[in-house]
């Protein structure tokens, strides 16, 4: 199993990322960051999910940065409720987070453990702070796979996706770090919708974990219905976890990606250079005008483009079933 540190801000879709990761990967620790909801809620929610799947004794949880590097914290209660994980019926968790700060855990673990993948499904504050604390991480990390950004349009603003919008400076630090970044953006995660049928299948499992998953999905769908797509709930973060678990579930392309930090309308946008993927331009003849160039900048990242939905859903169902 691949060794991962899961950095997250649960969050309904983060909860699914946790459930997928713990069963299919070697999760060295879950590190929490302020995002969907303030840090104390996020940390409690991570413990709630681990208790629901009965792995809270094995997987340590670390609390990290409560606020972005530069900006004020923005949260998303309209999607995730006041607790950040509304809709489930679990008791308060009895387990507690570790004493160590998440940033220390990330930096120390990467420096002492070979071949660690960082899977990040919240704002990138903890990861960027860890890179600042221990720049030699760059030579040690296997890869960083994030749910964040978009090759096309945003959600929090027309241009920006939530995780990148919340801490663009941290995201820019990560994309420019020299580590290979796999970006699982909204253009991909919008292909991953859970439906009413998904909820029926979760309940049909007849297990506590199935009920937990169904309750979370129903809440997320209702919240989304008011604002977003009326028929589906996209568990964005689960796609990034699935990509680490089974890279063949997602088709991707290398490209250069950077983060807009100052645009009046575009702060937090992931600016993706995929000119090299575009066909002949109707205005310029590339062959005759090579100085126009559609080469694109040297890739620093790989963007997710297409999801194998059926096999992705199979992974979701088989994972939840395996918790019994
Ligand atoms: C991302 O924003 C958060 O609300 C979700 O947990 C996900 O990580 C989607 O834009
Ligand atoms: Ca998240």
User: Tell me: the pLDDT tens digits for 192-207?
Assistant: 999 999 999 999 999 9
Atom of ligand 1 nearest to the CA of 186: 10
Instruction: Tell me the C-alpha distance between 83 and 46, whole Å.
Output: 12
**With contact defined as beta carbons under 8 Å apart, do 45 and 76 qualify?**
no
Catalytic residue among 12, 80, 101, 236: 236
Distance from residue 181's CA to the centre of ligand 2 (Å) = 17
- In short, whether 16's Cβ falls inside 6 Å of ligand 1 is no
Each residue's pLDDT tens digit, 182-238: 999 999 999 999 999 999 999 999 999 999 999 999 999 988 777 766 678 999 999
Rounded distance between C-alpha atoms, residue 177 and residue 166, angstroms = 19
Judge if the upstream peptide bond of residue 11 is cis by omega within 30 degrees of 0. yes
Could you give the strand order of the β-sheet that contains 116-120, starting from the edge strand earlier in sequence? 61-63, 26-32, 3-8, 116-120, 143-147, 181-184, 301-307, 250-259, 270-273
Angle between helices 125-133 and 102-112 (to 10 degrees): 60
Q: Which residues of the chain have pLDDT under 50?
A: 282, 284, 286, 289-293
Look at residue 277 in the predicted model and tell me its pLDDT.
74
Residue 293 zone, left/alpha/beta (φ > 0; ψ -120 to 50; rest): left
Whether 256 sits among the annotated catalytic residues: the reply is: no
Predicted pLDDT at 161: 97
* Residue 161 in contact with ligand 1 by CB distance below 6 A: yes
Distance 92 CA to ligand 1 centre (A): 23
What pLDDT does residue 232 have?
85
Closest CA to 295 of 314, 274, 266: 274
302 three-state secondary structure: strand
Which residue is closest in CA terms to ligand 1's atom 2?
162
Give the ipTM: 0.99
């Amino acid at each position: 199993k691949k060794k991962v540190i899961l950095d997250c801000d649960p969050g309904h879709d983060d909860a699914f990322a946790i459930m997928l990761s713990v069963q299919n990967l070697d999760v060295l620790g879950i590190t929490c960051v302020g995002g969907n909801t303030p840090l104390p809620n996020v940390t409690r929610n991570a413990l709630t999910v681990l208790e629901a799947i009965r792995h809270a004794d094995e997987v340590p949880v670390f609390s990290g940065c409560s606020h972005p590097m530069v900006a004020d914290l923005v949260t998303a209660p309209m999607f995730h409720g006041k607790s950040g994980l509304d809709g489930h019926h679990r008791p308060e968790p009895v387990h507690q987070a570790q004493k160590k700060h998440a940033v220390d855990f990330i930096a120390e673990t990467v420096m002492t453990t070979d071949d660690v993948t960082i899977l990040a499904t919240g704002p990138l504050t903890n990861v960027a702070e860890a890179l600042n604390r221990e720049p030699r991480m760059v030579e040690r990390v296997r890869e960083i796979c994030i749910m964040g950004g978009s090759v096309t349009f945003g959600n929090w603003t027309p241009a920006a996706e939530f995780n990148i919008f919340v801490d663009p400076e941290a995201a820019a630090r990560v994309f420019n770090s020299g580590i290979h970044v796999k970006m699982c953006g909204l253009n991909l995660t919008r292909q991953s919708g859970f439906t009413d049928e998904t909820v029926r299948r979760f309940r049909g499992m007849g297990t506590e974990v199935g009920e937990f998953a169904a309750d979370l999905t129903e809440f997320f769908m209702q919240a989304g219905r008011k604002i977003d797509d009326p028929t589906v709930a996209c568990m964005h973060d689960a796609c990034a976890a699935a990509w680490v678990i089974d890279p063949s579930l997602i088709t991707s392309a290398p490209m250069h990606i950077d983060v807009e930090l100052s645009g009046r309308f575009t702060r937090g946008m992931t600016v993706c250079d995929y000119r090299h993927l575009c066909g002949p331009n109707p205005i310029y003849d590339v062959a005759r005008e090579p100085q126009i160039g559609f080469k694109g900048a040297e890739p620093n990242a790989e963007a997710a483009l297409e999801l194998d939905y059926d096999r992705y859903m199979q992974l979701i169902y088989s994972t939840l079933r395996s918790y019994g």
